[in-house]
Amino acid sequence: MARTDAIVLGAGIVGVSVALHLVKRGLAVALVDRGEPGRGTSYGNTGIIESNTLFPAAFPASLKSLMRIALKQAPEANYHASFLVRVAPWLLAFRRNSAPERLIATMRAMRPLFGRALAEHEALMAEAGASRYLRHTGWLKLYRSDRGFAGTARERAFAAELGLPVRVLDVDAACALEPALAPVFCHAVFWEGAASVSNPLAVTCAYAARFRALGGVAVTGDARSLHQVGARWRVETAQGPIDAEAAVVALGPWAPDLLAPLGIKLPLAVKRGYHRHFRPLGNAHLARPVLDADNGYCIAPMEQGIRITTGAEFAPRDAAPTPVQLDRVLPPARRLFPLGDAIEEKPWLGARPCFADSRPILGRAPGWRSLWLAYGHGHSGLTLGPVTGRLIAEMMTGTTPFCDPAPYGAERFAKAATALR
């Protein structure tokens, strides 16, 4: 029987970052995953470290957009009809949270995390030898309609107020920045402060290697075996049972599989998303991720090829893939950038773990003194992994947290504060 101070369940970017921050503070830590680190949702994202993100993804504001989604004509969203009844309460809450004043409140609540996100990645990358994956080349967003561009005015005004670097570019300037792009758009906004990585899996693996180098233990096991033995937590692993004083749930979209049997029911939904890599034609090259805003997809240069990622699909987490959005976005993507053949046979499918208020849960599980939650990072888990690791480790070790964690507490859902176990 191995005894540790903390068990971290889930070795995605969030769990690995939490485990690394705990071990850096002198704790004995076991990191448990059913597979290798970084192969879950953290594998397939767009690689953007969006430290100057302001407004979260929102429910469609116009009836026209909603109708396009309902009629399955929208590239940015898809759904499985049989799932709508189950996800309806979450969608209604998401809609409420998309009111303009709520988006501003979310922006303010999330700013401490986003504002530190890049610096926390840079610090971990420096010590993990992973800085070569980081590009300080910003994020380019393209608009094919005046209306789409006009919709960015409020966010740009807030960015100016907060001193975040953002530049409106005309078509020539955007094409000068990315010469392989065809001028099929009419406006561009260049978020210069954003960064990106060329291989999200390699970054998570580098942080996991650093965790092991500092004495952390990474083991294979099923997180659902977590149970209490007296006042301690125990998990069964390939190396036998491991005990700890505290446990951290960082299972991303799989967190409810462990929490529901413990009686912790928090309203998480998943927004599924796909990616596929393509060979660029000739010498075509991209230096940064590009969003084709009116068509709802991103195109990002990765070590594996040019990665196209899709928007949200509302479907059961484990349902068979239905990558229709990739089919919808490929024609406009090919008109924008000279894409050659697909590299993999099949698209990759991941599931963004999302709460309807676009905030993760970071803090104690309601009613538990020694069970911690770090999940629900939605569209921004790569960005927020390291800053989450720092905040959770500060809370767990009794250090003054770098920001007020109250906005991220589970209590916002589980109103009745039960006695701590």
Ligand X SMILES: Cc1cc2nc3c(=O)[nH]c(=O)nc-3n(C[C@H](O)[C@H](O)[C@H](O)COP(=O)(O)OP(=O)(O)OC[C@H]3O[C@@H](n4cnc5c(N)ncnc54)[C@H](O)[C@@H]3O)c2cc1C
Residues near ligand X, by CB under 6 A: 10-15, 32-35, 39-42, 44-48, 50, 222-224, 250-254, 257, 273, 275, 309, 350, 352-353, 375, 377-383
**Least spacing, CB of residue 417 vs ligand X, in Å:** 25
Residue 15 vs 407, nearer CB to ligand X = 15
Rounded Cα gap, residues 85 and 66, in angstroms: 17
Rounded Cα gap, residues 385 and 116, in angstroms: 11
**Least spacing, CB of residue 122 vs ligand X, in Å:** 15
Residue 146 vs 257, nearer CB to ligand X = 257
Closest listed residue to residue 374, CA positions, set 333, 410, 330, 399: 410
CB count within 10 Å of CB 135 equals 17
Q: Cα 357 vs. chain centroid, distance in angstroms?
A: 14
Helix (H, G, I), strand (E, B) or coil at 34: coil
**Least spacing, CB of residue 332 vs ligand X, in Å:** 17
Residue 99 vs 259, nearer CB to ligand X = 259
Residue 160 vs 343, nearer CB to ligand X = 343
Residue 187 vs 276, nearer CB to ligand X = 276
What's the CA dihedral at 163, 165, 169, 174 to 10 degrees?
A: -170
**Least spacing, CB of residue 283 vs ligand X, in Å:** 25
**Least spacing, CB of residue 292 vs ligand X, in Å:** 14
Residue 55 vs 171, nearer CB to ligand X = 55
**Least spacing, CB of residue 351 vs ligand X, in Å:** 7
N residues, the chain: 421
Please state the φ and ψ torsions of residue 48, each to the nearest 5 degrees. Answer: -90, 130
Give, as one character, the DSSP assignment of residue 18.
H
Rounded Cα gap, residues 269 and 358, in angstroms: 11
Residue 40 vs 75, nearer CB to ligand X = 40
Residue 102 vs 224, nearer CB to ligand X = 224
Q: To 5 degrees, how large is the angle CA 198–CA 200–CA 202? A: 90
**Least spacing, CB of residue 98 vs ligand X, in Å:** 19
Rounded Cα gap, residues 77 and 66, in angstroms: 10
**Least spacing, CB of residue 170 vs ligand X, in Å:** 26
Rounded Cα gap, residues 313 and 206, in angstroms: 30
Residue 179 vs 353, nearer CB to ligand X = 353
Rounded Cα gap, residues 253 and 262, in angstroms: 17
**Least spacing, CB of residue 64 vs ligand X, in Å:** 25
Determine contact, residues 206/127, Cβ cutoff 8 Å: no
The DSSP annotation for 243-297 comes to: EEEEEEE--GGGHHHHHGGGT-----EEEEEEEEEEEESTT---SS-EEEGGGTE
